[in-house]
Amino acid sequence: MKFTQTPLKGAYIIDIEEKPDHRGFFARTYCAEEFAAHGLKATVAQCNLS
């Protein structure tokens, strides 16, 4: 996941980073550890897109 800080303190634009292969792609849309590293807290452990 790619976090881009906005001019509004504590607000980010969060983009997925696709991991493609011959079947399509996999990407995380939420990861508790990555959000916490940016000071963001939620109760979801992880969310993926395939």
Residue type, 23: R
The rounded percent of the chain whose pLDDT value lies above 70 is 100
Residue 45 has pLDDT above 80, yes or no: no
pTM recorded for the entire structure: 0.57
What the block records as the tokens of 36 is 């916490």
Tokens matching residue 49: 């897109």
pLDDT at 8 over 90: yes
Q: Report the alpha-carbon distance of residue 38 to residue 4 in Å, rounded.
A: 10
